Amino acid sequence: MSVLSQRIESERKLAGWTKTETAKKLNLPLTTYANYEYGNREPDSATITTMSTLFGVSNDYLMGKSNNRNSSSETQKKETHSTELNYEDLGLPYKGVISEDLNDTFRLLAQQYAEKHNLPKKDQ
């Protein structure tokens, strides 16, 4: 079992979710998610980023590069180019990273969506 598989299992259990619930939240087939957790498959970088966002931890933590669950602001600044949303992620023809203000707007929309659909909070 890889560090990644151990950590996603641990984070899922910490959140109180089943594999089925977690797969749905990640928009993945159950078998795909389960294979990640069992260590039979490795997710691509976009899926790792989606998982880290869902679990509220850093990519480095999930991949075993850090034992710190959350990135420090300095680490986040260094990771900006690899983890920030860009226009290509949205299927738009523009180049470059989306502004911090627009990223904040997307985060707020995601929080509102979670509240509207009664998704459990990380600390529950």
Tens-of-pLDDT digits for all 124 residues of the chain?
789 999 999 999 988 999 999 999 999 999 999 999 999 999 999 999 999 999 988 888 899 888 877 754 334 444 444 456 666 666 666 656 667 777 777 778 888 888 888 877 655 4
pLDDT confidence of residue 124: 46
pLDDT of residue 33: 95
The CATH classification of domain 1-73, taken from the options 1.10.3720.10, 1.10.357.10, 1.10.260.40, 3.30.300.20: 1.10.260.40
Q: How far is Cα 85 from Cα 97, in angstroms, rounded to an integer?
A: 6
The residue length of the chain stands at 124
Beta-bridge mates of residue 97? 86
**Domains of the chain by residue range:** 1-73, 84-124
Q: What is the pTM of this model?
A: 0.56
